[in-house]
Amino acid sequence: MSRRYAVGVIVALVVLIAAAAGILWALLPGRLPLRADAFQKPDPQSFEDIERGRYLAIAGDCAACHTARGGKPFAGGVPIETPFGKVVAPNITPDRETGIGAWTDDEFRRAVQEGIGRDGDLLYPAMPYPAYAKVAPDDVLAIRAYLATVEPASNKVATTQLPFTLRNRALMLGWNLLNFDRTPFRPDPNASVERNRGAYLVDGLGHCGSCHTAKNILGGDKRDGYLQGAVLQGWFVPSISGDPRVGIGEWPRDEIVDYLRAGANHWTVVSGPMAEEVRNSSTYLTVADLRAIAIYLKGVPPAAAASPRPLPSNDARMESGRAIYQDVCSACHTEPGLGANHLFPRLARSPAVQSDNATTLIRVVIAGSRSGGTALAPTAPAMPAMAGRLTNEQVAAVLTYIRNSWGNAAAAVSADEVKVIKSILTANGG
Amino acid sequence: MPTKLRRTDVVVIGLGWSGAILANELTDEGLDVVALERGPWRDTARDLSINFVPDELRYGIRLDLVLRPAQQTFTVRNNAGQTALPMREFGSFHPGNGVGGAGVHWAGITWRFSPADFRLRSHLSERYGAAAIPADMTIQDWGTSYQEMEPYYDRFEYLAGISGRAGNLRGMLQDGGNSFEGARQRDYPNPPLKLTYGPKLFADTARSMGYRPFPIPSALLSRPYINPLGVAMGECTFCGFCTNYGCANYSKASAQTTVLPVLMLKPNFKVRTECEVLRINLDKAGTTATGVTYVDSSGQEWEQPADLVIVCAFMLDNVRLLLLSGIGRPFDFRTGEGQVGRNFSYQTQNSAQGFFDNKRFNFNPFIGGGATGMAIDELNNDNFDHGPLGFFGGGSTRCAPIGAAPILTRPIPPGTPRWGAGWKKATVDNYLSAISVGCESSSYSNRNNFLDLDPTYTDRLGRPLMRITFDFPENDLRMSQYVTGKVAEIVRNMGASQIVARPRTGHWSVVPYQSTHTVGGAIMGADPSSSVVNKYLQAWDVANLFVVGASAFPQNSGFNPTGTVGALAFKAADAIRNLYLKAPGPLVRT
């Protein structure tokens, strides 16, 4: 079966399922409205509310999608890759014609939290309204109060570039039925205020699960996949659960704070899509909020998977891997795999290194990677691309060695896996 | 007609060590800074990858990181009676080019000059009488003092993460450090690097002869380090590719590994690469700089107006820009009058190479770095009595195995055939068991050594080339003989079976590489009649112009210059931030 044919079949299936679900939805008696509990409406002229909105807009990383590189803030225009095609984030400046200046607060809240556009159309979940549904309505309107203060920019954005078959937004009805959990955030009465604050930020504005939770075929969250890692844009986004091997269970709380704030800590330096998140969002959060996030994440239960045993050091792959490691990697990552603070990622006991899915590791070794600098950790070091120096077999061997040394344990990497990643990167022009 | 750009607060010419430090300090002050760099952008991630950095053919032989003579070169002669000819290949020295400048490919030895250096003429006059200084020796005091320099040395050492051992902490001599150094307020930020066998043997031998060896202060880091700007550096791996190479491991301090990551994040900083400054523009009175005119790679000319102009190019280009812009009075060697181009000096390179029994000695020379190893300072400067010797000066003596890259490392004893089986056998026999001890010695300025604009040769833009008139003064040649003899003695005591002493002799030649430690020409001093800039690196004639770099050295000490270049950059920045901006105008009244 050719790949194009397979994609066609999948798309057709998606359309059918979604359409069926949509019909079902339409037949249901009355739609369940999001419960809008009574809340104190922010005052759009209050400094405190505008300032809170600014902070929350950063926590939600609105600019990541709604501000184009070199464009005016929040004037839209960044195409977002989805598995089904490109979606472009609209202009959310107060411009009355092309932005949201003419919207009512309620229209704004419905778009952010229910995925319903002003004209009643349903939004694509590239806008993370399933996560933002967890945000308190007064926080949403504080963001609105802030957005009302930014410079209005006239910029008309054509928001979808999806294939024709997926352009019918009514399909989103079905998607919502299957994937949209509308329950608002409910604090855990047994957990501390701090931990609940962390959960609120992670599940709501932080929308961490958008990347860190694996998706089903329709792009909805997989059951049992909550923050356990996912494949995204040619990277394996690691688990951020409390798993001591593949998650961040071994990172002390302050190291998690450093990572989110500075983009670097004693364990690693941020790279890939997460570098943008740190640069645009988490580096600006308060230490108290970052600590709350750290506390919550460390308590997220690991996936129920058996821990693998490390390969024996006399395994042939381990032996050749060790020789390659000493020759090519140890100058920076050091002989015992400890790396250097804020510079060279530590490999020993590293969650990214031990992830069950080796996509990111393979990618970083063959194509290299550059970390993003922040004011607190400006170095922005780079991993050089090794594809010109190491064969697929050598990449597999050295990764197998790294994944099974210094207390690490993870499945061996095969040359075929390396080959697959290489072909994906080549196809992407990388 | 150049296109006029929007005014900026500061324009920095050249984004090497000095330019990066000045730009960072002045952007911290809130000023808008534009840096203009003649060469390409360079950063570790893209341009200094471990996958291609240890390429001796590309970097060691073809000098990939060095200025291309086709873009700009210099004419050279030994004395004013000769016609200077252009260097068509860089040999004797390797001018940097591109972001980071020569600081990308430097070795990393990072000294402080000694207290006596900054008042050399006064010091020698006091000790030996003014009459003892030869008439043609134009050495002079710097107009500043070691005490004034100390905080800026400290700033540079902590920025760069220098590895070393203090010899004089707040006046208390420290075992294992350089006992001749000036008092420092605190120790180096990092401990000394580990030693390989060669330097250890050198140090043990020197100690047994009564010398006091100490670790070479090094910009190669002995451990991971985060500098005061928050930039992280790695530990040196002794890969042996420093001199002429960029560092792939973030272990050698350079603008790239210490300043640029911070500078490039600042919204009030801009750098324009491949942009060569043609001249510094002055107002009608000639006393205020109005900005600079530069040309980009398309040949388009631009005028960048600025309130402050800071010249941080390679020292020869600093001097040339002043001459091309009509700033200051050019030095006239016939009359001895004029300042710009005066007191051009160099460094006097000496060494003694030892060939050892390869059954008993193995130095593993490929394990090394541009600034690893041990030194002694007894033979340097005025650390020994010159009374009966008939010369002044000396050098820092060190056993510093820089690495042993495969093409150029041919330690073969004299008498070896130049090719064929005998040559190959000699290479094999001696590769592991030969070692050199160098003596990087002073170069005292002389009336006959100077810089001016060449009357014949021009660059691609029709501007006269800089003309270097230089030869080793008799004083320096005598000093060479003396110190090299002492160095050879140490090598003999190390157990060498054959010694080749190489004092500097004869005329200066541009062919063999010696060092890129050219200095002077726009020197600092207390008196505008004998210097170009005051002790704040501010031009005497143009108050909003600062000229920073080794061009400010009135003569060269027996030390590598970069530590002092870095300190001068911090000194100038401090003067601008704390004095000039509060009261723009001349900072020293005469």
pLDDT at A1: 40
Cα(B234)–Cα(A178) distance, integer angstroms: 50
Cα(A384)–Cα(A47) distance, integer angstroms: 47
Parallel, antiparallel, or unpaired: how do β-strands B545-547 and B301-311 relate? parallel
Cα(A356)–Cα(A352) distance, integer angstroms: 9
A247 domain residue, yes or no: yes
Nearest chain B residue to A368 by CA distance is: B45
Residues A62 and A115 grouped into a single domain:
yes
Q: Does A332 touch chain B (CB under 8 A)?
A: yes
Tell me the pLDDT of chain B (590 aa) as tens digits.
899 999 999 999 999 999 999 999 999 999 999 999 999 999 999 999 999 999 999 999 999 999 999 999 999 999 999 999 999 999 999 999 999 999 999 999 999 999 999 999 999 999 999 999 999 999 999 999 999 999 999 999 999 999 999 999 999 999 999 999 999 999 999 999 999 999 999 999 999 999 999 999 999 999 999 999 999 999 999 999 999 999 999 999 999 999 999 999 999 999 999 999 999 999 999 999 999 999 999 999 999 999 999 999 999 999 999 999 999 999 999 999 999 999 999 999 999 999 999 999 999 999 999 999 999 999 999 999 999 999 999 999 999 999 999 999 999 999 999 999 999 999 999 999 999 999 999 999 999 999 999 999 999 999 999 999 999 999 999 999 999 999 999 999 999 999 999 999 999 999 999 999 999 999 999 999 999 999 999 999 999 999 999 999 999 999 999 999 999 999 999 999 999 999 999 999 98
Interface probe, candidates B53, B226, B262, chain A, greatest A C-beta count within 10 A:
B226
Residues A174 and A292 grouped into a single domain:
no
Window 168-227 of B, Cβ < 8 Å to A: 224, 226
Where would I find the H helices in A165-252? Answer: 171-179, 193-203, 209-212
Distance from CA of A379 to the nearest CA of B (A): 5
Nearest chain A residue to B235 by CA distance is: A332
Q: Does B228 touch chain A (CB under 8 A)?
A: no
Whether A382 sits inside 8 A of B45 (CB atoms) is: yes
Could you tell me the pLDDT band of residue A34, with boundaries at 50, 70 and 90? very low
A214 domain residue, yes or no: yes
Residue range A220-232, pLDDT digits in tens: 888 889 999 999 8
pLDDT at A85: 74
Nearest chain B residue to A373 by CA distance is: B261
Distances (CA, A) of B436 to A69, A188, B242, B363, B495: 55, 72, 17, 11, 13
Distance from CA of B232 to the nearest CA of A (A): 6
A239 domain residue, yes or no: yes
**Contact between residue A53 and residue A117 where contact means Cβ atoms under 8 Å apart:** no
Q: Does A242 touch chain B (CB under 8 A)?
A: no
pLDDT at A30: 37
Residues A388 and A273 grouped into a single domain:
no
Fill in the amino acid letter for B540: W
Distances (CA, A) of A245 to A239, A255, A311: 10, 16, 15
CA-based R_g, chain B, Å: 23
Residues A266 and A214 grouped into a single domain:
yes
Interface probe, candidates B24, B42, B51, chain A, greatest A C-beta count within 10 A:
B51
Residues A14 and A121 grouped into a single domain:
yes
Cα(B193)–Cα(B374) distance, integer angstroms: 10
Q: Which of A331, A341, A389 sits opposite B249 (nearest CB)?
A: A331
CB atoms within 10 A of CB B175: 9
Residue range A303-315, pLDDT digits in tens: 887 789 999 999 9
Q: Does B50 touch chain A (CB under 8 A)?
A: yes
Side-chain half-sphere of B365: how many Cα atoms within 13 Å? 26
Q: How far apart are the first and last CA of chain A?
A: 26
CATH number of the domain that B181 lies in?
3.50.50.60
- The 8-class DSSP code of residue A145 comes to H
- The 8-class DSSP code of residue B577 comes to I
A92 domain residue, yes or no: yes
Residue A3 has pLDDT above 80, yes or no: no
Nearest chain A residue to B53 by CA distance is: A384
Nearest chain A residue to B266 by CA distance is: A375
Report chain A residues whose CB lies below 8 A from the CB of B51.
384-386, 388-389
Could you tell me the pLDDT band of residue A15, with boundaries at 50, 70 and 90? low
Q: Does B232 touch chain A (CB under 8 A)?
A: yes
Residue range A349-369, pLDDT digits in tens: 999 999 999 999 999 999 999
Report chain B residues whose CB lies below 8 A from the CB of A378.
229-231, 261-262, 265
B531 domain residue, yes or no: yes
Report chain B residues whose CB lies below 8 A from the CB of A375.
230, 265
Instruction: Give catalytic residues of B, as residue numbers.
Output: 517
Residues A82 and A175 grouped into a single domain:
yes
Residue A19 has pLDDT above 70, yes or no: no
Cα(A404)–Cα(B333) distance, integer angstroms: 72
CB burial of A405-428 (b: ≥16 within 10 Å; e: otherwise) equals bbebebbbbbeebbeebbeebeee
Whether A340 sits inside 8 A of B235 (CB atoms) is: yes
The residue behind tokens 């949209």 is A180
CA-based R_g, chain A, Å: 23
pLDDT at A162: 63
Could you tell me the pLDDT band of residue A37, with boundaries at 50, 70 and 90? low
Residue range A173-197, pLDDT digits in tens: 777 877 888 889 999 999 999 999 9
The residue behind tokens 């760069």 is B160
Q: Does B44 touch chain A (CB under 8 A)?
A: yes
**Alpha carbon B98 to chain centroid, angstroms:** 16
Helix, strand, coil tally for chain A in percent (to 5):
45, 10, 50
Q: Does A390 touch chain B (CB under 8 A)?
A: no
Whether A377 sits inside 8 A of B50 (CB atoms) is: no
- The 8-class DSSP code of residue A329 comes to I
Which one of A244, A268, A298 terminates a domain? Answer: A298
Q: Which of A332, A370, A376 sits opposite B230 (nearest CB)?
A: A376
Domain extent, residue B146, equals 3-580
Q: What is the mean pLDDT of residues A255-267?
A: 96
Parallel, antiparallel, or unpaired: how do β-strands B33-36 and B8-13 relate? parallel
Per residue, the 3-state secondary structure of A75-90, as one string, reads CECCEEEECCEEEECC
A–B CB contacts, 8 A cutoff, strictly below: 62
Report chain B residues whose CB lies below 8 A from the CB of A390.
none
Where would I find the H helices in A238-300? Answer: 253-262, 273-280, 287-298
Domain extent, residue A412, equals 316-427
Q: Which of B230, B233, B239 sits opposite A377 (nearest CB)?
A: B230
Which one of A298, A331, A352 terminates a domain? Answer: A298
Residue range B302-343, pLDDT digits in tens: 999 999 999 999 999 999 999 999 999 999 999 999 999 999
Cα(B558)–Cα(B377) distance, integer angstroms: 9
Q: How many residues does chain B have?
A: 590
B555 domain residue, yes or no: yes
Report chain A residues whose CB lies below 8 A from the CB of B46.
382
Structure tokens at B324: 């091309």
B426 domain residue, yes or no: yes
Structure tokens at B89: 């290949």
When divided into structural domains, chain A yields a total of 3
Residues A212 and A246 grouped into a single domain:
yes
Residues A156 and A274 grouped into a single domain:
no
Residue range A118-129, pLDDT digits in tens: 888 888 888 899
Average pLDDT of chain A? 88
Choose among B9, B146, B144: nearest CA to B577: B9
B329 domain residue, yes or no: yes
**Contact between residue B401 and residue B199 where contact means Cβ atoms under 8 Å apart:** yes
Whether A332 sits inside 8 A of B234 (CB atoms) is: yes
> In 3-state terms, what secondary structure has residue A46?
coil
Q: Does B233 touch chain A (CB under 8 A)?
A: yes
Fill in the amino acid letter for B311: V
B589 domain residue, yes or no: no
DSSP β-bridge partners for residue B66 = B96
**Contact between residue B254 and residue B246 where contact means Cβ atoms under 8 Å apart:** yes
**Contact between residue B400 and residue B109 where contact means Cβ atoms under 8 Å apart:** yes
CB atoms within 10 A of CB A309: 8
Q: Does B51 touch chain A (CB under 8 A)?
A: yes
B585 domain residue, yes or no: no
When divided into structural domains, chain B yields a total of 1
Residues A277 and A151 grouped into a single domain:
no
Nearest chain A residue to B262 by CA distance is: A378
Structure tokens at B21: 């430090």
Cα(A54)–Cα(A290) distance, integer angstroms: 17
A304 domain residue, yes or no: no
Residues A40 and A151 grouped into a single domain:
yes
pLDDT at A294: 98
